Amino acid sequence: MSTEDGPRVAILGGGIGGLAAAAFLRDKGFHSDVYEQAAALTEVGAGLVIAPNAARLLRRLGVLDRFVERAVRMEVGWEFRRWENGAVLSAENLQEGCIRLYGEHTYTAHRADLLDALRSAVPEHSIHLGRRCVSVEFEGDQAVLRFEDGETVRPDILIGADGVHSRVRGAIVGPTQARESGICAFRALVPAEQAPDFARRRAQTLWIGPDHHLVHYPVSGEEYVNLVAFAPAGTSSVESWTATATLEELLDEFAGWDPRLVELIRSADTPGRWALLDREPLDHWNRGNATLLGDAAHPMFPFFAQGAAQAIEDGAVLALCLAEDPDHPIAALGRYEGLRRPRTARLQEVSHGRSHINHLADGPEQQARDLAYAQADPLRANGWIYEYDPEVAVSASA
């Protein structure tokens, strides 16, 4: 089934996970075809955090320099502030700590800038735009893709990187039910010249309060401040990157909070709004010659800022497993799943737990949390996240 150049790999989805997989596969000598339904590779959703575990992999791909042209290197991180007066509960010195502990810095960026960096490591002829997949079926262990234009593709390996509403996941595990979490997220950008001074710092700041929290940090070469806020979900919330709210709705959610934060919100553009749906970790994500990565495999709440990083890690581990056993792709996919599923399930679970902790009502539980934050060292406590190295993980499993 393989071509002279190795197995034919099809990647469904040209987002961060799909391009990361294509880039790491190319680094290991594999050709892949990325099928993306959009007519252009664009990323909505505004900001994201690239912690040391992801930054190391961008460096390994040779795209970190391109990424940091527009990314912002964080100096302060996990800066928790009290909702009513901005009192700092906890903060970490990222400028020194990240390099000392994990060998890389932490960055914030617009998603489009990360996508651009990853795309630079993938040949243009490998990316097929405007290709809408209408069905994924199996003939035995063989995945079969059918596209809207009538083309049928039977790859040696299929990677489903097609996001939270993945068609490939549906074919592998069947329909999976998502529960309403009761939380919705608002996202917006504020032009830096309109943002208050405190929001332009190279800091990842989290304001926490009853039933709500709000995160902000600079992106896009410090031209904008990215803002993402979490609040109780209303009946109009949908799980979408493109649904919008009004600025008045976002301001209403944070009425009575520190006036400086309200000023920041007031300077924002029209916010997007989407529901956070709750999904249990999958007990498997392979079938035959097909597998999943990124949000298609393990969608997670964004409260540890690891969604993009885990998709990048997936691509690295998958490429390493295939490189070690290219003649037995199904076995290599099984090894990949076995390595990745426990780690991503743990991150899904801890991210889920943070939603309750950040939204405590004022009272004894909140006071105990604030004391714990003041005494915590999150940069060290999250070492299991940031020190992860795919090459070490794969070697240890040999």
Q: In terms of Cα–Cα distance, which of 176, 164, 158, 177 is closest to 287?
A: 158
Most distant CA pair in the chain, distance: 66
342 CB-near residues (< 8 Å, 6+ apart): none
Query: What is the secondary structure of 376-388 as a DSSP string?
Result: --HHHHTHHHHT-
Sheet holding 152-153, edge to edge: 133-139, 142-147, 152-153
Q: Is 373 a catalytic residue?
A: no
306 CB-near residues (< 8 Å, 6+ apart): 51, 300, 347, 351, 385
Q: In terms of Cα–Cα distance, which of 13, 9, 36, 46 is closest to 296?
A: 13
Secondary structure of the chain: what % helix, strand, coil (to 5)?
Answer: 40, 25, 35
Active-site residue, from 102, 107, 217, 388: 217
The 8-class DSSP code of residue 287 comes to: B
Residues comprising the chain, all counted: 398
Q: Within 13 A of 394's CA, how many CA atoms are on the CB side?
A: 22
Q: Specify the amino acid at residue 241.
A: W
Q: Which residues are catalytic?
A: 217
